[in-house]
A and B are shown apart, each in its own frame.
Chain A
């Protein structure tokens, strides 16, 4: 039966799914689209504030209008959501309160006002008020065909506006001052962005609820940011993540009757964000870990090469060294040592001569390069930073691995092609020009 269910779901065989699924998908796409800008402008939590702040507007609209008309409720929601955004901006711009405090304060006092109005309405009685609080927790299952139309039109309008103002919105998201200085109407753009955000949040609440709405703004753009450095790509990826989360959330709640859709959508979006944080190229945990590993390996092998060179420097006639020779000169653990030696042999830097090792011709060049960088840097620290000769070694231990040939040349020049380092050791030349 399970596969039958999935088929139904894919082909929208179930009349319920035919309404709920498109509704949730459009909503997720819309929230993800708007979320890019709130995320880039470091205002992710504004979505949370808005979703709480629309409640008094909804209640007031109901009180004035006397019935649950979606259109009036949305107008009310938009108005109070916008008011909260402006108050937050006003408070933090004028430094009356810090941004986070302003958000927390507006969020909770608007929601408090909303609760007051809601309970006032409930105590007034009246048949039509029932279900007004359903707006708070959201029930994707109760979406109507009208809701889906409203979502779709909203999505189209919002995408249209984002497309029209793409340059302004993009610039604003990265550098508001710069956008202002080259003549963009920043105040208006900010206003439009606030309207779009409030709009997306206000329409979405009835499907996922007040608390979870913020996640639909944050998680997709957080994930998308990790995969791309271009705003355009980021927008497409975030919408895709939003759609995928909407789809998998709906699927889960469809397969397990009684499971709420909204929370599963949020969990899916959160999982997508977490996966991206782990595996995204460059910024993810995995590639950071890989980078660290490869740096550690580089440092290990370079340090070993240096060691070979130093030993050969001390005793001219000694051609091969044993493991103990190496361990005596530098504190290393044995497993690191044998790992490093294996790598060096693989790279043809070190030759294995019956249980002892010596540098190959390439190895000697490489070892000279590292020792040379080390000593150049020591000399530089002494000459230009006036450090004592006994204080320069540790810093050079780190720098020798990262100095590029370019910096090496510059060091050479400003030090005047030096012969000896602060400890009077010879600074080797890679290609001896005797």
Chain B
């Protein structure tokens, strides 16, 4: 294994972890498709951020994508609460609309951008080792891995500091409210995490893999887990396994790494399902 392989694999695992943590909460709150919506709808945010800042660096994209992600969360909430649109229809309406806006922005400013919709749908993780930044003299580090790691640390901090709030507002919002935990606040914290997870992945693995890593590992973990902590740990483990197996399968077959990892989240889910049935039958 060369250094390049190592960087790619490390990035894949970091992305898997960044997604697995908020993904667990999304699955528990029956909001998996909100993750799908946010991961698609960051496109206009990214394009606008790009047009304003003129650079494709993650630092500029981050606020744009986060704003778009938050906008999706607020818009879905508004449609549901104020206009009484059912949640599935609200999600479908909002993210397709925003994605369409994004595609139109891309084609309207083609001359100024080197963005296109493929780069949101499936990024190219194989390019990670070629996009290096200098940390100090003679130490080069892949930029996307760095951004991913920083975000992973942030998400872990939020998880540890906010575990009680996230836990209570997920399992029993009524009780949480009655003891003074702000359910709305933790809802938006979670949405923020999902938006950030999308940003890290947008260049490297694309929106579809984000959806796979948000929902797949958590769904597999939900088959076995008996507590929230074990579910988070298990989905981190399942996510990492998907990243590793997906990566090696992709290298072996010479195919898309992101696609292969996404496929393996599904395969792992079905293997888990089978295992659970077998364990159950004894």
Contacts and interface: CB of A to CB of B under 8 A. Distances in A.
Interface stretch (B50-58, B63-71, B131-139, B264-272): B264-272
Interface stretch (B25-33, B152-160, B172-180, B190-198): B25-33
Interface string B194-237: 00000000000000110110111011001100000000000000
A106 B266 contact: yes
B256 interface: yes
Interface string B258-282: 1111111111010001000000000
Given A107-B211, A108-B215, A259-B104, A96 B223 contact: yes
A42 B100 contact: no
Contact of B107 (A107, A118, A258): A258
Contacts of B269: 97, 105, 109
B104 A260 contact: yes
Contacts of B79: 277
B184 interface: no
Interface stretch (B4-12, B80-88, B142-150, B163-171): B80-88
Given A45-B88, A263-B103, A116 B255 contact: yes
A121 to B, nearest CB: 9
Interface in A38-57: 39, 42-45, 47-48, 52
Contacts of B72: none
Contacts of B86: 42, 44
B88 A105 contact: no
Contacts of B104: 259-260, 263-264, 267
A212 B83 contact: no
Contacts of B118: 137
B97 A266 contact: yes
A237 interface: no
Contacts of B211: 104, 107-108
A270 interface: yes
B35 interface: yes
B99 A105 contact: no
A300 interface: no
B181 interface: no
B68 to A, nearest CB: 15
28 contacts: A48-B33, A100-B33, A101-B218, A101-B222, A105-B32, A106-B266, A107-B211, A108-B208, A108-B215, A109-B265, A111-B208, A112-B259, A112-B262, A112-B263, A113-B259, A114-B259, A116-B253, A120-B253, A210-B121, A211-B121, A212-B100, A215-B92, A215-B100, A258-B107, A263-B99, A264-B100, A270-B100, A283-B84
Interface of B: 27, 30-33, 35-36, 40, 79, 82-86, 88-89, 91-93, 96-97, 99-101, 103-104, 107-108, 110, 117-118, 121-122, 208-209, 211-212, 214-216, 218-219, 222-223, 250, 253-256, 258-267, 269, 273
- Nearest first, the 4 closest Cβ-Cβ pairs linking A and B are A109-B266, A112-B262, A115-B259, A215-B96
